[in-house]
Amino acid sequence: MTEWYRTPGWTLADQEDFERRLRRAKPWNRGDYLRIKGLALWEEGLVGVARTLWIRALTETRDSFTQMPALEHLADSLRDEDPDVAEVFYRRMLAQDPTLNGTSTMAEVHCAELLIRRGDVASLEEARTLLDAWTERDPLFPAERFAGAVVEARWHDATGRPEAAGRWAADALELAELESPLASAPGLAVRGIEPALETWLREVARRRFPA
């Protein structure tokens, strides 16, 4: 049976039930319940409601192990819709707790990706610094390394290094094919690539061999 804070429904009855159970919960657990419920609703496409719950998790708790992942969820949900706000949240994460405890530890990669989109010299230089800092974390899981390789390919492509971009793109494609012993767990193995991204990676990967 699905726990009450993981169910995907958000009818009026669902909301009343959730709030009633939340009031009964231990105060130190409420932030996590808000955050996890937000994830369940986000997966159902209720993005606005999910963000509201994540903001509550931020404002109704002072526990960094709740606040940091809530910040990450907000940033991830805004990366395409409002990249400037997403960048603010990623920077806040890195400033508040550089260890990124309780998160996916991908804030540097995601922030770098946003800076690469901006494309100016200063942004690209900062993106390089962020990517180097993330590499020092020694990422382990294929999904993390895949995401990092994609952004590395984008950085090298944006800075006029086609062969290096090609090598990173090829690495990303290889990582996407790796299996994890815990592939059912989110964040460990790559669960498929968006068609547009795969097309771009394959095109860039061909550049790793100079003519």
Instruction: Determine the pLDDT at residue 208.
Output: 85
Q: What sign does the dihedral 101-171-210-204 (CA atoms) show?
A: negative
Instruction: Determine the pLDDT at residue 203.
Output: 96
Place of tokens 């937000």: 38
pLDDT less than 50: residues of the chain: none
Instruction: Determine the pLDDT at residue 64.
Output: 84
CB atoms within 10 A of CB 198: 14
Question: Helices 64-78 and 107-118 sit at what angle, rounded to 10 degrees?
Answer: 30
**For residue 58, how far is the Cα from the chain centroid?**
17
- Is 80 a domain residue? no
Instruction: Determine the pLDDT at residue 35.
Output: 96
Inter-residue long-range contacts of 170-176, CB under 8 Å, 24+ positions, other chains counted: 170/205, 170/208, 172/146, 172/201, 173/198, 173/201, 173/202, 173/205, 175/142, 175/145, 175/146, 175/149, 176/142, 176/146
pLDDT digits (tens, 9 = 90+) for 157-209: 999 999 999 999 999 999 988 765 555 555 566 777 899 999 999 999 999 87
- Is 68 a domain residue? no
Q: What sign does the dihedral 76-111-79-56 (CA atoms) show?
A: positive
Instruction: Determine the pLDDT at residue 185.
Output: 54
Range of the domain at 159: 139-211
- Is 179 a domain residue? yes
Q: What sign does the dihedral 23-29-31-34 (CA atoms) show?
A: negative
- CB-based contact 154:116 (threshold 8 Å): yes
- Is 163 a domain residue? yes
- Is 189 a domain residue? yes
- Number of structural domains, the chain? 1
Question: Residue 1 corresponds to which amino acid?
Answer: M
- Is 104 a domain residue? no
Q: Is 193 left (phi over 0), alpha (psi -120 to 50) or beta?
A: beta
- Is 2 a domain residue? no
- Is 206 a domain residue? yes
- CB-based contact 93:108 (threshold 8 Å): no
What is the length of the chain?
A: 211
Alpha-carbon gap, residue 136 to 12, rounded angstroms: 47
Instruction: Determine the pLDDT at residue 210.
Output: 73
